[in-house]
A and B are shown apart, each in its own frame.
Chain A
């Protein structure tokens, strides 16, 4: 260590007579840690319906308040209020509730499946269902989705066969992705759902590229991408904003602010200084901050942004202000870093309950029907899980043949992969003479 120059700090601190104040580093700290009593009174929750609804072609310059406010529709009285009420008919509302209930039932069962060793990994979206299900309902079925890993609700809303989702999670022989991807990293071109990457935020500038392409070709389809608030720290997100605004791309950049990125609270992504919606303002992008646990507000905001994109009025950043009710994934234990009561104290409630209560309040639903719906969803997931299990579970042999490992690296199999494929099959035969499916 002797040959290195002394730290600058040592030098300045040592200066005699120096009365300049010492600098100090700010390291963000969440308000509550395990054992703390939670108090969310610092979160400003404006009255439902209080926010005006600007025209979809409004200049971003005039939209500052929407990036700092919170668009809400459902009030404490469970009624819909104000100009953002999307005025959905009861049938649509029940469908929305149904998708959300199904998403929850699916999460429940898959989480258990991981605990039972049927797969290596799972991620729930409990409490965030509206940010995917409701938002996606406001889009056309062929609008292109560039998801992150917590938008299973979109596939469910789009009618992607659930058995395909489970086959993928179990990496079995029915898995369309041939057991290559981590569980929950779905892909469905048919459902305009882009292949999920494990590298955070990479999908955001890709969505912009897709939207630009759609505009270049004079298509009418728009793109929408989802990213966690923690991941907005990646350079990719900033590239996405810049390209989106420069080219006025028909794209929606949805940021799901669920307050936590594994153990790091949103402050480490800059939440102490500005809202995530406000990230868009600096780029001249229209930006909305929305109650992410209010399914009607989520729908309305996404619809606003979709209309804007379709009218060639440009991109929108939407921040869904929500809460991650469960752990980050099956590998995570949130009790190690956050207060256990946060979930119950979260001031914006639970999206499924809020929609259910709304339907009841308008006389279109009741507890019995809800119970029946939940039961039916659970039964459906159970039955589908059974069907998928017939194709195998992770690590129990019923996977894709070995040679598939070498396919799709390139369009055509080059000699070196051909050789390696033969080697893999030979190894398998050495290990299991008599042969399995190779």
Chain B
């Protein structure tokens, strides 16, 4: 997935001289996760550059660059460190178009590795997507495969609205089954890792049906898509697994069609439960599909605690938690 992201940046920069990449350590070194490797060499220091350690500054400067007409792609080294820049994102970037009645826009794509599963402790593991979903004016994208990562990132960069692009770092190097003690297969071995060369786009707001099935609908995104797939395969459950790809805008049609077909819905995310994005999904499904439901909508999520270091795998919504929910929902 790292290479796919790198390619998307490369292609976007080659195509549009207004695209600039910036962030802590992204320049000469190519990013602590190597997503921007080689770009500075290719496009020069004024289009790919390191920044001060100031997330507020990084996002604010991107707002100004966007107002000028550039398309900044700032990187926040870990999603946990977006918070110092939140005011600029929420009060400024998200509302610039609205408050200026379209005179000014902030066409930026804030990339940031997110999610747990790498023993990052409570400040390198969070999934803050619900915060952004709550803010009017921001789009939030979360790819689950290298193919999607590339196509979605290109779309995000070409989009005229501010986009938060969360990269699930647990699957940077390969899909994850949820069993931390089993070896990770590299992406190379999976179809989903086949990334076509050149420019292609995946529209923001269109979900992907990861697997098709009649028994229930499972809604997930990012790392959890793979965990859910693995659990269903293991348990022999045939589910419509919807990989949302973007949570704002949301592909409500895909959700509605699937839940009306299966009559059951399970929502899975890694972020904490209370007021998480799953709550929104659950409300939507209940509002729109109530008379088709044969069982209450279930949520599987992380716990409502900060992400612990040593008990990381007890926190993670893994196969046992998902399996329990599946048993419950299918038995109703």
Contacts and interface: CB of A to CB of B under 8 A. Distances in A.
B304 A268 contact: no
B186 interface: no
A431 B49 CA distance: 47
A92 interface: no
Contacts of A394: 119, 309-310
B123 A180 contact: no
Contact of A182 (B27, B121, B305, B323): B121
Interface string B41-59: 0000110011111111100
A400 to B, nearest CB: 7
Contacts, number: 165
Contacts of B16: 1
A180 B53 CA distance: 25
Contact of B69 (A6, A181, A400): A6
B320 A8 contact: no
A88 B315 CA distance: 51
Interface in A192-220: 197-201
A405 B80 contact: no
B193 interface: no
Given A8-B68, A230-B53, A405 B308 contact: yes
A4 B68 CA distance: 11
A170 B80 CA distance: 23
A395 B309 CA distance: 10
A416 B279 CA distance: 15
B35 to A, nearest CB: 14
Contacts of B32: 262-263, 331
Max chain A C-beta neighbours (<10 A), residue from B27, B46, B68, B315? B27
A27 B46 contact: yes
A379 interface: no
Interface string A1-40: 1011111111000000000000011011100010000000
B83 A417 contact: no
A238 to B, nearest CB: 10
Given A171-B310, A182-B121, A409-B306, A9 B45 contact: no
Given A235-B84, A430-B320, A264 B306 contact: no
A427 B320 CA distance: 6
A36 to B, nearest CB: 13
B211 interface: no
B123 A268 contact: no
A21 B25 CA distance: 31
B311 interface: yes
A402 B314 contact: yes
Contacts of B80: 198-199
Contact of B304 (A175, A262, A270, A416): A416
A178 B50 CA distance: 36
A121 interface: yes
Given A179-B310, A234-B53, A405-B311, A9 B68 contact: yes
A109 to B, nearest CB: 20
A382 interface: no
A403 B105 CA distance: 48
Contact of B158 (A1, A5, A29, A427): A1
Given A7-B70, A234-B53, A405-B315, A199 B83 contact: yes
B49 A234 contact: no
A199 B69 contact: no
Interface residues of B, number: 53
A198 B306 CA distance: 13
B310 A10 contact: no
A179 B50 contact: no
B274 interface: yes
A269 B50 CA distance: 10
Contacts of A181: 121-122, 309
Nearest to A33: B28
B324 interface: yes
Contact of A4 (B55, B121, B160, B304): B160
A283 interface: no
B261 interface: no
Nearest to A4: B160
Nearest to A397: B310
A198 B29 contact: no
A399 B45 contact: no
A58 interface: no
A177 to B, nearest CB: 9
Interface in B83-114: 83-84, 105, 107
A233 B52 contact: yes
Max chain A C-beta neighbours (<10 A), residue from B45, B55, B69, B318? B69
Given A263-B29, A405-B315, A185 B305 contact: no
A430 B323 CA distance: 10
Given A179-B311, A405-B303, A405-B305, A3 B320 contact: no
Interface in B14-44: 16, 18, 24-25, 27-29, 32
Contacts of B70: 7
Interface string A251-286: 000000000011110001110000000000000000
A182 B68 contact: no
Interface string A389-422: 0000011000110101110010000001100100
B187 interface: no
A3 B55 CA distance: 29
B81 interface: yes
Contacts of A405: 303, 305, 308, 311, 314-315
B46 A25 contact: yes
22 contacts: A4-B105, A7-B69, A180-B308, A182-B122, A198-B121, A199-B84, A199-B123, A233-B53, A233-B54, A233-B57, A234-B54, A234-B55, A235-B57, A235-B84, A236-B84, A262-B24, A262-B25, A264-B25, A264-B27, A264-B29, A336-B29, A394-B310
Query: Closest 7 A-B residue pairs measured CB to CB?
Result: A198-B123, A179-B310, A7-B69, A182-B121, A233-B52, A263-B29, A171-B310
Given A4-B160, A9-B69, A10-B69, 15 more contacts: A1-B16, A4-B69, A8-B69, A27-B45, A28-B50, A181-B122, A182-B124, A233-B52, A233-B53, A234-B55, A262-B24, A262-B29, A416-B304, A417-B304, A420-B304
